[in-house]
Amino acid sequence: MDKNFAEDIVKRAMKRGCDAAEVFMRNSKGLSVEAKDGKVEALEAAQDAGLALKLIKDRKLGFAFTTNFDEIEKTIDTAIDAARWTASDEYIDIPEHRPAGDVLIFDEQIKNLDEATVIKNALMLEARALAFDKRVKKVRKAEVGTRVTTTTLANSKGVSVNYESTTYSAHVTTFASDENGDNQMGWDFASSRRMEDIDVNSVGETASKRAVEILGARKISAVKAPVILCPSVAVGFLDILSASLSAEAVQKQRSFLSGKVGQKVLSSLVDIVDDGTMKWGTGTKPVDDEGVPVTNKTIIAEGVLNSYLYNTYTAKKAGVKSTGNAARGSYKGLPGIDVTNFYIKAEGSQQAEGRIQESENKRTEYNKLIKSISKGILILNTMGLHTANPISGDFSVGISGLWIDNGEAVYPIKEAVISGNILELFKKIEGLGKDLKFYGNIGAPSILIGDMDISA
């Protein structure tokens, strides 16, 4: 799995009369350990390696993949045959070579981790979650995982890339119970391309804290009041917004941001960044999954939409350059579009110093957001966010969290519902915390939203 092998396949395909050829190879080795009751509940070591071949012949696309590297000619035959049966498409293309910068994505410590260390860390994760509070009765899942991936890309327009990346993650789900028989669940997750960024003890404690702090939750009457989204909840809403930025969704009229470039779509306090170059980010890589260098770009600046996210196909269709956001779920499919490291900035835009001064009072610490409202809800969990409509942006989700009275969180609440539209929600942002936190490759700080209708 090296550049020479990939380049050779491209040459062989071109000799068969193809107009363009692209090879994508990925080899991934992973180890995950799940702890339960102080023992190893599950241990899984897995390796997956494969190759994808994309051909263009007479403006027709051919695609094939294989896990058998001894059958390359057969794979080329399959791709050429597939091209015979596809419709001609003038926008099918492969990118030309562009130099990529260096990124920090490989941690030797992760690559050299032994099984015993991963087991120890999974057991530690479970133990710390249970030790946080006597009301934490059970840990349903405490899992630590590592992954080492090698990616190789080559095409007939000069792209030739090979890079190695690592990932380390910890995930835990806890259950807490009180003397009145109330049961609540908590969770936390952390991941990075560098092992030292992940504190499994902190992950365990955070999950248990989330379960304990909503014990004894009560129902509330319908009310119109401001809400604060904690970072994990804000990330959920931001994830929905990210899908609407895909140029593919826009071109298929399946995005609520269609036709809005250059328009103010969110609150002026909001800057949203997609940064494929971020140090140790789980979405960081030197090039996207077509070989286009990734960049650091502000997609929404002070609420104004600057651009959509493009791969090579959608960029050619729109008459623009790819933004380096081509992404593959695996070697078994053609690239779509996805974010890299996508987040709401917790600081003001560097392009408008006056605006920074104007909004600085709103960009407060997490606890100051609570103190800034007389009555409202700190939302800690949502139920049913996956049911939000990605085309219209409409949502209706159950929430639980803490009721705020006179700037203090006074008691936990449950079984309330908030409804609305993603764009309208983000337009009503009145404050951002400085507690930016990533869950995977999407991050957000705490967010203060103006009055919302909350039903019981």
Query: Which one-letter amino acid corresponds to residue 150?
Result: T
Same-domain check for residues 97 and 232: no
Q: The pTM is what?
A: 0.94
Which DSSP helix (H) or strand (E) runs through 205?
A: helix 200-212
Same-domain check for residues 21 and 111: yes
Portion of the chain with pLDDT greater than 90, in percent:
93
Predicted confidence at residue 367, as pLDDT, reads 74
Same-domain check for residues 421 and 353: yes
* Confidence band, pLDDT 50/70/90 cuts, at residue 456: confident
How does pLDDT run across 385-413, given as a tens digit for each residue? 999 998 999 999 999 999 999 999 999 99
What is the full DSSP assignment across 85-100? TSPP-TT---PPP---
Burial class (CB in 10 A: 0-12, 13-18, 19+), 396: middle
Q: Is 162 a member of any domain?
A: yes
| DSSP type of residue 292 | P
Same-domain check for residues 269 and 164: no
Q: Which of 212, 239, 268 lies at the terminal end of a domain, its last residue?
A: 212
Same-domain check for residues 63 and 144: yes
Same-domain check for residues 253 and 402: yes
CATH of the domain at 134: 3.30.2290.10
Portion of the chain with pLDDT greater than 70, in percent:
96
Same-domain check for residues 200 and 302: no
Q: Is 217 a member of any domain?
A: no
Same-domain check for residues 239 and 190: no
Same-domain check for residues 251 and 138: no
Number of domains in the chain: 2
Residue 364 pLDDT more than 70? no
3-state helix, strand, coil in the chain (%, to 5): 25, 40, 35
Same-domain check for residues 99 and 191: yes
Give the CA distances from residue 19 to residues 11, 61, 68, 191, in Å, rounded to whole numbers and listed in that order.
11, 10, 25, 41
Same-domain check for residues 192 and 239: no
Give the SS3 label for residue 195. Answer: helix
Same-domain check for residues 230 and 334: yes
Q: Which of 178, 212, 246 lies at the terminal end of a domain, its last residue?
A: 212
How does pLDDT run across 302-319, given as a tens digit for each residue? 999 999 999 999 999 999
Q: Which of 172, 189, 212 lies at the terminal end of a domain, its last residue?
A: 212
Q: Is 218 a member of any domain?
A: no
Q: Is 208 a member of any domain?
A: yes
Q: What is the mean pLDDT of residues 278-305?
A: 98
Predicted confidence at residue 366, as pLDDT, reads 60
- Which residue range forms the structural domain that includes residue 356? 223-455
φ, ψ (nearest 5 deg) of residue 54:
-115, 125
What is the full DSSP assignment across 106-152? --HHHHT--HHHHHHHHHHHHHHHHHS-TTEEEEEEEEEEEEEEEEE
Residue 365 pLDDT more than 70? no
